[in-house]
Amino acid sequence: MLIATWNINGVKARIDALVAWLETAAPDIACLQEIKSVDEGFPRQAIEDLGYHVETHGQKGFNGVALVSKDKPAEVLRGLPGDDSDEQARYMEGLWSINRRRLRVASIYLPNGNPLGSEKFPYKLAWMDRLIAHAERRLLTEDELVLAGDYNVIPMPIDAAHPKDWVDDALFQPESRGAWRRLVNLGLTDALRATTDAAKTYTFWDYQAGAWQKNNGIRIDHMLISPEVQDRLVSVGIEKHVRGWEKPSDHVPVMIELAA
């Protein structure tokens, strides 16, 4: 079984790349972030023509997440619990029953938090607190759990080509990284770091200053998995080649393979 995450950075602009990737990678479940589309405007037909089911939690021009899956989920949760006043479309979770297993997969677009000193950084940290609380509740069920997405957190210096460039950025602040550790310490596993400690392992390259050509990247797209999923983990891959396609997103897909 293949589960993937990809910040598509505008689904309408990347629909051809998304379809091409779905055809070749063939994930069973794909979590998309930053779709930048309202639900009714999402270009679902091209995806459904491949045999996929589409669930969206959209927002006009900003944010937005989606779940694309070969099988329709039994349940869908739109929005991260804990703050009814939060209107930003950043979290969606699906429940599947596969081979008598209950599998929950979430597509997460965690707030960026920049600029520091604005209201955006406290919002990021409060959102992370809500995610930690929600994940803790989900882990108590002992369902298989995958929390996948663009976390906008650089966990460790090894996850950036030039860590010193990020010391004044919300993605690398001690508070952001501390919240990340509290989330992981609930009993989750960073799937990629469970399989490799290699440096120069990135998922995002800025469009500016030749970052892609220089491999000046960062790792901010993560798949956190529960112990029940880790027991089935076969491999983790970063689809780095997609960044070299025409009109690419600045992120690339990350995908885990699970044993049957």
Query: Element (H or E) spanning 148, and its range?
Result: strand 144-150
216/72 Cα distance (integer angstroms): 38
177-209 pLDDT per residue, tens: 999 999 999 999 999 999 999 999 999 999 999
> Does the annotation list 250 as a binding residue?
yes
Asked if residues 169 and 114 have their Cβ atoms less than 8 Å apart, the reply is yes
Dihedral sign computed on CA atoms, order 215, 248, 153, 201? negative
Structure tokens at 141: 């069920």
> Does the annotation list 152 as a binding residue?
yes
Longest dimension (CA), the chain: 49
User: How many helices (DSSP H) and strands (DSSP E) are in the chain?
Assistant: 6, 14
97-119 pLDDT per residue, tens: 988 899 999 999 999 999 999 99
Q: Is the entire prediction scored with pTM above 0.95?
A: yes
Catalytic residues: 109, 150, 251
> Does the annotation list 216 as a binding residue?
no
* Fold of the CATH domain 2-258: Deoxyribonuclease I; Chain A (3.60.10)
